Structure 1
Amino acid sequence: MKAATVSPYEEQLSDFRVTYSKAGAITTALLVLVGISLDFFSYPDRLTEFLLFRIGTALAIFLVFVVLYTNFGRTHVRALTMIWLSMPQLMIAWMIYLTDGSDSIYFVGLHLAMYAVGIILPITVFEGIGFGALTLVVYVIACAYNENGAGTDAKMYTNSIFILFSATASAVCTWFNEKARNRLFSLQHEVSLNNKKLKETNRTLAEVKGQLIQREKMAAIGTLSAGLLHELNNPVNYSLMAINMAMTLPTVKTDAMLKESLVDAKEGMDRIQNIVSDLKTFAYQKPGEDSHRPFLLENAVRSATRLAGFDLKGIKVSVDLPQDTHVLGDEPAIIGVLINLLSNAAHAVHGAKREQPDIGVRVESLEKRLKVSVRDNGQGIATDVLSRVFEPFFTTREVGSGLGLGLSMSYSIIQRHGSTLEVHSEPGAWTEFTFDLART
């Protein structure tokens, strides 16, 4: 059998009922005991007898009060509330039966109970009507079986009509209270939804703001780098031409030291030229659909490794590539993602102070995609932090060491490429980031 679903309103109303039922039960138990002062002045000859009645009723109500703290009490709060509400009415009716019947002053107590229930307790209209009907029935029975008899006692009929009036007023109050609770819940639910929407909007705005800041920064760097790289490339080319010409001179063949110096200079200039080429690729970013073009992932990995070279000092970086690494995407953006992953991996490895620090970049062929993984043997990521690493502005580094936007931006870039940047980690052992790209 399918379990019945509980609406948020019913769950909240159950909390109200339990809370108010507890408060009402303990208050009623105390009032029942305090009523002994009425017995003292009204029926002093029955003081002991009525004291026992009151103590017994108070203990019974207190027992229900204790049960309300259990799971059973919470589940059956409505029935238990009606039970303890009935106890004082039955006690009063019994006192009316034992004393003066329709002339008994305790008749007033029945009215007070009905008004209190209608105004305070969160019961339904039908429960309120049922409570009023019970009160009327026990009153009529008490008067009818009183030793003086009811007969055609006009006072009993008059009091019964007053009880009907009180029961009606109590039911009306109950109806308005129920309507007000419904309205209150609707407003609370609406406010809760609006708060969630506002939080989501603020989170989205914070993420967009962070991305805009990062893009503006990268655009400024790109504009500045374009001119610098152009100016830097010219002297590099001149220097390479001069070195190549110098290496053709006959003197170089006879002077080993000169030849070695020229070879070292040429290697250094080649390295500068590669860095300039990598920076050109990374600096001239053109976001948008048109930037998704075929490129060699191998070249992107090599460029990212060179550009992150400062962070990777002293770390063994192993690269495992398949033969064909042609993919479709935004090459500068993917280089940026790889730089960020390599930089974070280097930070983790340096923090762990491994004897053999290692970062592995592995590219595997899938059916129509290439899977890229960057794995380090650093500190790992704590379990409680793992789910937050892609949040904007979240960082575990020291203040001033980063904005916490790198992984968030990388996640968005990989999403734009139809994939998901995933992270797996074992605290204190390793961390691995993976994503995949479409093959051409």
Structure 2
Amino acid sequence: MAAAARPMRGSYAKELAGFHLMQSRACAVTVIVLVLLGFVLDFAVYPEMMGRFAVARFITSIGVLAGLGVLYTAFGKRHVHAVTFVWLTFPQAMIAWMIHATQGEASLFYAGIILTIFAVGTLFPVGFMYTMAYGVLTLLAYWIACTTRPEGVTDHAQFLFHATIILFSVAASTVYTFYNERGRRQLFELKEELAQKNDELEHTNRSLAEIKGQMLQQEKMAALGTLSAGLLHEVNNPVNFCLMAIDVALEDPVAQGSPMLLECLDDARQGMQRVQYIVSDLKTFAYRKEHTGSDAFVLERAVDAAVRLVGHETKGIAIRREIAVATLVQGDEAAIVGVLINLLGNAALALRKGGTAAPEIVIGACDDGARLRITVRDNGPGIEPEHLSRVFEPFFTTREVGQGLGLGLSICYSVIERHGGRLTAESTPGEWTRFTFDLPRAGGER
């Protein structure tokens, strides 16, 4: 809890500093306007001293304006309270001088002192200690203004009355500032708590979406496994009969004497063999076991299976391999085949949608310490920067409605993460896209 409170206090202090800077600037503008509007009061109460007071008001306004200018500098932003405290003494000093120059404790300008005290507590609530210190300074200025007159204080009762009113103003402004600051802190804490709850809710929703995606994937794999198990017996037997019949036909003298017939029979045999390969690849899903972390398989075999299984999607697209190292890795072969199928299918779709002139997908593998780093790169239209950071989010998709749930890459990310690796995406729009992931070497092989 203490560790969590420290960042909160730091962020609160940062927000409070910005608030105080804004309030100080607003307060400075307000003070300048009020000081200048005081010409009306001078005319109404002390018209004979308007000239001297006008000079004092002008000098005070210039001083406050200079303080406002300092608040826009780096120094002023770092020392908001000190700079504000300094320029706030200018109007108090002006009013104290006006009290001294007019009637002392009987001067009506004491009301201006009270006004500035409340202004500090409301317009610029810097904390009750600052407000109290400013109030004490103001009371001292009033005492000096009255006692340093040639005749001194003549009406002690009035002096005591006005000083008491000023003291009450200081106390009220200080209490207001204290509770105002306390309420602002509570509001900030509530806002932080709400933001934290929203983050937790977002994390929960993301976790639920990932779980849902994994469950959907598992259901699809289970359905594919059930279908594959049936196909193994239903397809293998007729395929074997066909291959046997083709072999017999190839030995027939009539076929031997017809090059075209031989070519047709050879094509038919290759087609049957392809069916056998596909059925063999589906065995991976039909008899998949719980991954224990110690299963070893050759990645190239998984690549072969994935390429065959997406053959209808990648028709007309050149698939090149850059694998010059041994690829015995550790993991769940069926899951990795699924990852490769997804990456190859996405690449093929992007190439077709982008209308690439010479579409190509390059599958690479290289050593990365005790792991094997695999890449799937295409020369398609690429991924826009605003989409690149979101490609692994569950349910995020740029496909049209009904063409995908946006779960494929999210599930792939989880699969690779489960293998202790990381799936990343890089792209240059209009040029290429590359997905990279890594798998542990089997038995610590390097």
Report if aligned partners of 1:144, 1:151 keep a CA contact under 8 Å in 2. no
- CA-CA distance at 1:143 after TM superposition: 0.8
Report if aligned partners of 1:100, 1:146 keep a CA contact under 8 Å in 2. no
Q: Which of 425, 428, 431 is residue 429 of structure 1 equivalent to? A: 431
Find the counterpart in structure 1 of residue 192 from structure 2.
189
Report if aligned partners of 1:358, 1:377 keep a CA contact under 8 Å in 2. yes
Gaps of 5+ in 1: none
| CA distance in structure 1 between the partners assigned to 2:378 and 2:403 by the alignment | 20
Task: Report the CA distance shift for 1:151/1:266 in structure 2 as closer, same or farther (over 3 A).
Answer: same
AA paired with 1:109? Answer: G
Q: Which of 98, 105, 108 is residue 105 of structure 1 equivalent to? A: 108
| CA distance in structure 2 between the partners assigned to 1:379 and 1:417 by the alignment | 30
- CA-CA distance at 1:243 after TM superposition: 2.7
Report if aligned partners of 1:101, 1:148 keep a CA contact under 8 Å in 2. no
| CA distance in structure 2 between the partners assigned to 1:266 and 1:32 by the alignment | 101
Find the counterpart in structure 2 of residue 214 from structure 1.
217
Task: Give 3-state SS (helix, strand or coil) of 2:361's partner.
Answer: strand
Identity of aligned residues (%): 49
Task: Give 3-state SS (helix, strand or coil) of 1:7's partner.
Answer: helix
Count of residues in correspondence between the two structures: 435
CA deviations 1:193-221 (Å, max 9, x no partner) are 22222222222222332332333333334
Find the counterpart in structure 1 of residue 336 from structure 2.
334
| Counterpart check, 1:133 vs 2:146 | no
Report if aligned partners of 1:210, 1:405 keep a CA contact under 8 Å in 2. yes
Find the counterpart in structure 2 of residue 393 from structure 1.
395
Q: Which of 273, 276, 289 is residue 276 of structure 2 equivalent to? A: 273
| CA distance in structure 2 between the partners assigned to 1:324 and 1:41 by the alignment | 98
| Counterpart check, 1:238 vs 2:263 | no
| Counterpart check, 1:91 vs 2:90 | no
| CA distance in structure 2 between the partners assigned to 1:88 and 1:320 by the alignment | 79
Instruction: Give TM-score, length-normalised by structure 2.
Output: 0.87
Find the counterpart in structure 1 of residue 3 from structure 2.
none
Q: Which moved more, 1:148-157 or 1:272-281?
A: 148-157
Q: Which of 407, 410, 420 is residue 409 of structure 2 equivalent to? A: 407
Task: Report the CA distance shift for 1:60/1:223 in structure 2 as closer, same or farther (over 3 A).
Answer: same
| CA distance in structure 1 between the partners assigned to 2:322 and 2:59 by the alignment | 84
Task: Report the CA distance shift for 1:127/1:371 in structure 2 as closer, same or farther (over 3 A).
Answer: closer
Task: Report the CA distance shift for 1:100/1:365 in structure 2 as closer, same or farther (over 3 A).
Answer: closer
Task: Give 3-state SS (helix, strand or coil) of 2:105's partner.
Answer: helix
AA paired with 2:156? Answer: D
| Counterpart check, 1:60 vs 2:41 | no
CA deviations 1:140-194 (Å, max 9, x no partner) are 1111122432268343234323323322232222222222222222222222222
Task: Report the CA distance shift for 1:254/1:291 in structure 2 as closer, same or farther (over 3 A).
Answer: farther
Find the counterpart in structure 2 of residue 153 from structure 1.
156
Gaps of 5+ in 2: 1-6
| CA distance in structure 1 between the partners assigned to 2:115 and 2:261 by the alignment | 114
Find the counterpart in structure 1 of residue 230 from structure 2.
227
- CA-CA distance at 1:97 after TM superposition: 0.7
Find the counterpart in structure 2 of residue 200 from structure 1.
203
Equivalent positions of 1:296-375 (< 5 A) are 296-322=298-324, 324-365=326-367, 368-375=370-377
| CA distance in structure 2 between the partners assigned to 1:302 and 1:289 by the alignment | 21
Q: Which of 30, 33, 37 is residue 34 of structure 1 equivalent to? A: 37
Report if aligned partners of 1:29, 1:62 keep a CA contact under 8 Å in 2. yes
Q: Which of 381, 384, 394 is residue 383 of structure 2 equivalent to? A: 381
Q: Which moved more, 1:412-421 or 1:164-173?
A: 164-173
| CA distance in structure 1 between the partners assigned to 2:327 and 2:121 by the alignment | 77
- CA-CA distance at 1:376 after TM superposition: 2.4
Q: Which moved more, 1:247-256 or 1:396-405?
A: 247-256
Give the root-mean-square deviation of aligned CA atoms.
Answer: 2.8
| CA distance in structure 2 between the partners assigned to 1:248 and 1:291 by the alignment | 49
| CA distance in structure 2 between the partners assigned to 1:267 and 1:427 by the alignment | 39
Q: Which moved more, 1:52-61 or 1:319-328?
A: 319-328
Report if aligned partners of 2:383, 2:427 keep a CA contact under 8 Å in 1. yes
Report if aligned partners of 1:32, 1:54 keep a CA contact under 8 Å in 2. yes
Find the counterpart in structure 2 of residue 22 from structure 1.
25
Find the counterpart in structure 2 of residue 175 from structure 1.
178
- CA-CA distance at 1:78 after TM superposition: 1.0
Report if aligned partners of 2:25, 2:71 keep a CA contact under 8 Å in 1. yes
Report if aligned partners of 2:356, 2:381 keep a CA contact under 8 Å in 1. no
| CA distance in structure 2 between the partners assigned to 1:241 and 1:67 by the alignment | 95
| CA distance in structure 1 between the partners assigned to 2:441 and 2:111 by the alignment | 88
| CA distance in structure 2 between the partners assigned to 1:86 and 1:305 by the alignment | 80
- CA-CA distance at 1:277 after TM superposition: 1.6
- CA-CA distance at 1:238 after TM superposition: 2.5
| CA distance in structure 1 between the partners assigned to 2:123 and 2:80 by the alignment | 16
Q: Which moved more, 1:242-251 or 1:272-281?
A: 242-251
Report if aligned partners of 2:121, 2:173 keep a CA contact under 8 Å in 1. yes
Instruction: Give TM-score, length-normalised by structure 1.
Output: 0.88
Task: Report the CA distance shift for 1:128/1:257 in structure 2 as closer, same or farther (over 3 A).
Answer: closer
- CA-CA distance at 1:322 after TM superposition: 4.8
Q: Which of 387, 400, 421 is residue 419 of structure 1 equivalent to? A: 421
AA paired with 1:339? Answer: I
